[in-house]
Amino acid sequence: MYLTKEEEKMLNGEYGPAVEKSMRLLVKLGEIYGAEKMIEISSAQIAGISYKNIGDPGVEFLEGFLEEGAKVRVLAFMNPAGMDLESWKELGIPEEFAEKQMRIINALKRMGVYAAATCTPYLAGLLPRYGEHIAWSESSAVIFANSVIGARTNREGGPSALAAAITGRTPMHGFHLNENRTPEVTIVVESQIKTSYEFGILAHAICKKFKKGVPYITGINPVHANIERLKLFGATLAAYGAFSLFHMEGVTPENVEAPKEKIHIEPSDLNESKEEMGEKLDSVDLVVIGCPHASLDEIKRILKVLNGRKMKVPMLVFTSRSVRVVAKRTNLISELEKLNIKVLADTCPVVMPLEYLNVKRVATDSGKAIYYLPNTNNVKVLFDSLERLVERFGE
């Protein structure tokens, strides 16, 4: 693999052990994937920062890495952590968990990583530009950045994203290359897809018929493909399938041709997916919204849908800290709290230890959450639209 003089110096330890280890990891990955060289990146998003996921070995690794001089060279920010970094106590997160979680956050902060702690950095001011090379790791953020923004990233693991942040480089392979961004099949959607719920179901239906690659989706009226729906659509696509990039006619920015091979998504496919997504539950302990992290508009929409009704079952809404700050200033948070709804920042339903909340059955509008929650948090999950969740679990 070709390395520049600067990259050689990194690899030879001239910038200290943390840079050397990072470059070693990236070179190894580059060799595995057949990369010819490194590419400079403009930002890195680092996942795998919840204490629930990485435990004590993760804390020790990050603190040790910091001692070895780990310092980021490019804009770098964190994916959600295992708790709301400000209101963890009132949620019942134990002191011991919180202490370890804060050690992870502090080690990363001292490396220069911003504690944005969100999977929707693009809604929190951390927005790459079209064509920019980046190294992001959370799957819904990756597919959004590649598809909707037209930035270029592979689906990095936590360690490779951190190594990319420390060296400012990533191996040039996969979605960094034009040839891998070409769509392979045209997905013809034969139904009108309008709502977030329908976009989630469509993603599931696509994954059943086309397992991996780059789809080119036609038949969507661009008027309905807003940021929030594309965010939910991409997250579900990346959860149920090995997707990190899609093109959508009239919606996504890359100028690509529709492939000749076609797969049709009929109304019956959507009905089938609707039946298969989640479980049939009569009652739940918690309603979860904001996977991926909610936008300000989505938070406002919850109030609109509730229209003054209170939730009988508590609702948690997950968002980024920056969106929460604006929502608070706009009095949305206090309005929601009156209706039995809490808005959490910095964390997510999948990487947060729901066991401390005594939750066994969850309802959500997120296709990604229903995919992961049964495994990560050992809960049963019901999938439905926000409107119907309010209808069923509101007063």
Cβ(270)–Cβ(205) below 8 Å: yes
Identity of residue 91:
L
Q: Which is nearer to ligand F3S, 203 or 235 (CB)?
A: 235
Which one of residues 30, 48, 58, 80 is an interface residue with ligand F3S (CB under 6 A)?
Answer: 80
Q: Are 344 and 316 in contact (CB under 8 A)?
A: yes
Task: Name the residue number minimizing CB distance to ligand F3S.
Answer: 348
Out of 140, 153, 273, 364, the only residue in the binding site for ligand F3S (CB under 6 A) is 140
Nearer to ligand F3S, 18 or 238 (CB): 238
Per CB under 6 A, 292 contacts ligand F3S: yes
368 binds ligand F3S (CB under 6 A): yes
Contact 168, 40 (CB under 8 A): yes
Options 51-59, 106-114, 198-206, 345-353: segment touching ligand F3S (CB under 6 A): 345-353
Please, which residue, 173 or 368, has the CB nearer to ligand F3S? Answer: 368
Give residues with Cβ within 8 angstroms of 121, minimum separation 6.
45, 77, 127, 136, 141, 320
Q: Which of residues 196-255 bind ligand F3S (CB under 6 A)?
A: 235
Q: Are strands 262-265 and 286-294 parallel, antiparallel or unpaired?
A: unpaired
Least distance to ligand F3S, CB of residue 169, Å? 25
318 touches ligand F3S by CB under 6 A: yes
- Side-chain-facing half-sphere of 293: CA atoms under 13 Å: 30
Asked if 104 touches ligand F3S (CB under 6 A), the answer is no
Residue of 119, 145, 201, 336 interacting with ligand F3S (CB under 6 A): 119
Binding-site string for ligand F3S from residue 50 to residue 79, where x marks contact by CB under 6 A and - marks none: -----------------------------x
CB of 5 to ligand F3S, least distance (A): 38
Choices 26-34, 121-129, 254-262, 287-295; region in contact with ligand F3S by CB under 6 A? 287-295
**Which amino acid is residue 47, in one-letter code?**
A
The residue ranges that bind ligand F3S (CB under 6 A) are 79-80, 119, 138, 140, 235, 291-293, 318, 348, 350-351, 368-369, 372
